[in-house]
Amino acid sequence: MFLSTSKALIFSLLLGISVFSQANEQKTHHIDIKSQFTKQPLSISITLPTNFTENDDQRYVALYTTAGDRRLKSMVEQINWMSHVSFGPIPPLIIVQLPYIAAPNEQQGKDVQASGLNTKLTIKILEREILPQIAQRYPILPFSILEGYSTNANLPLNILADAPHLFNAYISINPAWGLDKSNLMTRIKRQLTSDQLKFRSAYISLGSFSQNHSAFEELLTFTHQIKSKLALHLDNQSDINYYTAPMSLLPKALEQVFADRNPKDLSSLAKGGVFAVNQYYKALTKKYGYALSPINTLHDLSDYYGQHDQLTSQIEILEHILKLKPDNIYYRTILANVHLKNNQSASYKKVITNALNLAKAQNNQEAIDYIQRIIDRN
């Protein structure tokens, strides 16, 4: 019997295809930086992925956030859930909680945080002190995200306007446009036609506070009049509760940032098969700055071929996956089932036997039992 996609996902967990494990405890580090640009103490919290291991070869995307401690807790849980399996919508992230950097002689307050008057100093400290420290201490990839909500959501917009090279993706959830005192809209409009925005993205939502509606509409109208290299998503969420927004919109924004890692429309890739997938992921390196694994998309494409009764193409895809992952038991069982459905009994027996032998070599009892049930059933 051919394995359905839902069952395949279940058995993928059973056989250990999930790359990311939740077995490890959450690790949080703290860094104190003595800045040469401000007398303010800079305390930074770094939350590592649950699968993080010292001195391994894995590297991670960094998410820099302005969230306070309360929101940070829920953010960590959301990101862990979205990234805890290899076919999840986002990769594991290192979460860096940024301090608020006050402008000289500034009186602290929420209105001041959204004013934009501290942008130049913040950029200087980020570029020369905080970002280099994180890059030196942690195995980060050359792709990073800056995130903020409410009065803190103006910071991503200010950085996008003045120093877009610092981050690759910007998430601004319900920014407080009405509290800006730095001509933020004018600066963003000027930047939107810049070549610096190539391979960069931004998610900007509108919240329920009426004083921000006109600015959002102004930006929306402006983007329809120009051609920008920024992948910009403007999201009107004024109908949901203001405090619901960070819980529901952060996962949405992150999923959009990484959506092209696992394309949903496979019809064009299906025409070119493995070659088309390889070319697609080669192009993605220009955006992310590093090579992404095509395995999940190849998996989806094999399902696509199966659903469209293109069994020969499905077999070619699965055989290619096994060249990339020769020790993977799961894909051997999938390939065996495809051969069985295609009435290729000799190929089925060869592949399922190899899968069983591999499971025994790995001492994977769950896989052994599962494969033996397949053999007994057929």
> pLDDT digit string (tens) for 267-325?
999 999 999 999 999 999 999 999 999 999 999 999 999 999 999 999 999 999 999 99
* Tokens, residue 85: 């399996």
How far apart, in Å, do the first and last CA atoms of the chain sit?
Answer: 8
* Tokens, residue 22: 């939740």
Please choose, from the candidates 178, 113, 196, the residue with its C-alpha nearest in 3D space to the C-alpha of residue 152: 113
Would you say residue 374 has pLDDT above 90? no
Mean pLDDT for 257-266 is 93
Q: What is the pLDDT of residue 271?
A: 94
Q: What is the pLDDT of residue 229?
A: 94
Q: What is the pLDDT of residue 19?
A: 36
Residues 326-344 pLDDT 10s? 999 999 999 999 999 888 9
Q: Which residue has the higher pLDDT, 19 or 28?
A: 28
Q: What is the pLDDT of residue 21?
A: 37
Please choose, from the candidates 116, 115, 107, 52, the residue with its C-alpha nearest in 3D space to the C-alpha of residue 79: 52
* Tokens, residue 250: 């952060």
What's CA 200's distance to the chain center, in Å?
14
Residue with tokens 């120009």: 226
Mean pLDDT for 128-155 is 96
Q: What is the pLDDT of residue 260?
A: 94
- The full length of the chain comes to 378
Are 238 and 200 contacting, i.e. CB atoms less than 8 angstroms apart? no
Please choose, from the candidates 96, 23, 93, the residue with its C-alpha nearest in 3D space to the C-alpha of residue 58: 93
Residues ≥6 apart with Cβ < 8 Å to 277: 269, 294, 297, 298, 301
Q: How far apart are CA 243 and CA 352, in angstroms?
A: 52
Please choose, from the candidates 116, 89, 90, the residue with its C-alpha nearest in 3D space to the C-alpha of residue 101: 116
Please choose, from the candidates 175, 115, 186, 184, the residue with its C-alpha nearest in 3D space to the C-alpha of residue 146: 175
Would you say residue 239 has pLDDT above 70? yes
Helices and strands, number each (H, E), in the chain: 15, 8
* Percent of the chain residues past pLDDT 70, beyond the cut: 92
All domains in the chain, ordered by first residue: 20-260 (3.40.50.1820), 267-377 (1.25.40.10)
Would you say residue 22 has pLDDT above 50? no
Pairing between strand 60-65 and 140-149?
parallel
* Percent of the chain residues past pLDDT 90, beyond the cut: 80
Average pLDDT, the chain: 90
Q: Which amino acid is at 237?
A: Q
Residues 174-219 pLDDT 10s? 999 999 999 999 999 999 999 999 999 999 999 999 999 999 999 9
Q: What is the pLDDT of residue 107?
A: 65
Residue 1: pLDDT band by 50, 70, 90 thresholds? Answer: very low
Q: What is the pLDDT of residue 109?
A: 56
Mean pLDDT for 222-249 is 95
Residues ≥6 apart with Cβ < 8 Å to 31: 43, 44, 46, 133, 137
- HSE, side-chain direction, 13 A CA sphere, residue 166: 28
Torsion of Cα atoms, 78 then 83 then 89 then 94, to 10°: 80
Residues 80-126 pLDDT 10s? 999 988 888 999 999 999 999 988 776 665 567 789 999 999 999 99
Helix ranges (H only) for the chain are 5-15, 69-83, 110-113, 119-125, 131-137, 154-162, 184-191, 213-225, 245-257, 267-288, 295-307, 311-324, 329-341, 345-361, 365-377
Q: What is the pLDDT of residue 342?
A: 87
Mean pLDDT for 28-44 is 93
Pairing between strand 27-33 and 42-48?
antiparallel
The 3-state DSSP composition of the chain as helix, strand, coil percent (nearest 5) reads 55, 15, 35
Give pTM, 2 decimals.
0.87
**CA distance readout (Å), 190 to 165, 187, 194:** 15, 5, 8
